[in-house]
Structure 1
Amino acid sequence: MNQYDGAPSFVTDLVFPEREGGYAKGHETRELILRTALHILIEEGYRAMSMRRVAAACDMKFGNLTYHFRSREDLVRELLDAVIRSYEQEFDTIVRMPGAPPEERLRRLCLLVLEDIRSKKTTRLFPELWALSNHDEFVFDRVHELYVRARAPAIEIIREMRPDLPCEACEMLALFISASMEGMTVFAGYDKPFEPHMAKLESIALKSFIELLKTVTAEEALAFGAGGEAVAAA
């Protein structure tokens, strides 16, 4: 067994900021609303997650809900912030693993994401957001912000692994790794056709990512970070 094994396979649904005074009952109510909204989003989809539907599921009056969240946009903004905070908490634990070399930390980071893809929450939630972002500018902005924050730990580790590469190249490599993993959701996520083969896909992915980062040359990386001109000329 790898000496660093033991990181959680699935990410907690939501993580809320620490309470800084105020009325405890109010904090609890906000958390109930957000957890209920997430449940509806996962089980029924975004269209079903109206403010009135959330209020009814929480067994509260619509006016009480709007006291805490004035609009669905406010609710979605705080919900996605709580979702990404749960990932950031787990990522930070891995990034700061004492004594673990960067290669091992990247492996653990990717394994956590790949295993989490198999959860019902992740398989249902993120494709729903991807589809919405095609037509809803507000959701697009929130999803983009979420993934920027999610990629930050990988960029940090890649820079540590390959200090000879330009920052732009490290960002592109992190983007490629993130996109490759997220793409498995529709094929090997919860209740998907290739979910039973996810362990094999994980092995292929991890070997490919580590090998790429070990072997990519500085010259190749410069092309990755050169911008649109390099892409157009390829």
Structure 2
Amino acid sequence: MTEFIVPDLKITPREGGYARGQDGFEHILRSALSLLVEHGSKALTLRRIAAECGMNVGNLNYYFRSKDELVRELLNAVISSYEESFGAIMHQPGADAEARLAKVVSLVLQDITTKKTTRFFSELWALSNHDPFVQERMEELYARARAPLNDLIAELNPALPQDERETLALFISASMEGTTIFAGYDKPWEPRIPWLKQIAIRSFTDLIRSIKPGEMKKTCKAEGVIAL
């Protein structure tokens, strides 16, 4: 069985005159990722990143004009690595939608047990509470990450309208991400990840197949809730 692993970063090659600085560009992003994982968001300053790379802030500004630009590129490199892995699963020859859903769920839950993922996303969640720029980038990141789930839901239950597919994909994504604080890297329930994978795969598959078009809206209406 093919095993899918998410690389730390997938960095898009720079074009034009910037291509000459590709090695430095990648070194900075990997250093920023390492600082965030090992020392938390408080360490994510241009001065600290420059020191980690063995350069001064002026040299760092050659590659990134601001911290926001650096964060944007870092998040893009992170989510691109997931998109590459999800894409390999989505286009796996001979695998039906249910099998591909199982592989996506397994990949995500296994990935949260890595030190990088557990710490990286936890730090970004905390940072996004106080930084609107990071919050917007995180929303973009997760929207891109949910795209494969949306596609799989459409295959497994094509009758569901788009807004209901999106809501279901959000629920599934949030359910898996929420496992991080309990079963992520060095967390108490990490050894139970294989069990949690089986529970998640069965639960999500049954939910997607069994939910009926309009069911969410009908329930909300009955309870007097106005959905967006």
- AA aligned opposite 1:177: I
For normalisation by structure 2, the TM-score amounts to 0.93
Partner of 1:188: 183
Distance (whole Å) between structure 2 residues aligned to residue 222 and residue 7 of structure 1: 38
Deviation per CA, 1:22-76: give whole Å up to 9, x if none. Answer: 4654011000000000000000011111101111111112110011111111110
What SS class does the counterpart of residue 81 from structure 1 fall into?
A: helix
Say whether 1:145 aligns with 2:160. Answer: no
Measure the CA separation in 2 of the matches of 1:88 and 1:7.
Answer: 16
Residue 79 of structure 1 is matched in structure 2 by 74
Contact 1:12 1:86 in 2 (8 A): yes
Distance in 2 between the 1:178 and 1:206 partners?
12
2:13 touches 2:19 (CA, 8 Å); kept in 1? no
1:220 aligns with 2:215: yes
Query: Residue 28 of structure 2 aligns with which residue?
Result: 33
Which runs of no fewer than 5 residues in structure 1 stay unpaired?
Answer: none
2: CA distance between counterparts of 1:213 and 1:24? 45
Q: Residue 70 of structure 1 aligns with which residue?
A: 65
Alignment match of 2:112 (pick from 112, 117, 135):
117
Cα distance in 2 between the residues matched to 1:108 and 1:180? 16
SS in 2 for 1:231: coil
5+ long unaligned stretches in structure 2: none
Structure 2 residue aligned with 1:7, among 3, 7, 27?
3
SS in 2 for 1:97: coil
1:230 deviation in Å? 6.4
2:125 is matched by which residue type in structure 1?
A: W
Is contact 1:165-1:221 (8 Å) kept?
no
- Identity over the aligned pairs, expressed in percent? 54
Contact preservation (8 Å) 2:183, 2:192: yes
| AA aligned opposite 1:57 | E
Q: Residue 96 of structure 1 aligns with which residue?
A: 91
Specify whether residues 223 and 134 from structure 1 end up closer, same or farther in structure 2 by C-alpha distance, changes over 3 A only.
farther
Instruction: Extract structure 1 runs of 4+ deviating beyond 3 A.
Output: 18-25, 221-224, 229-233
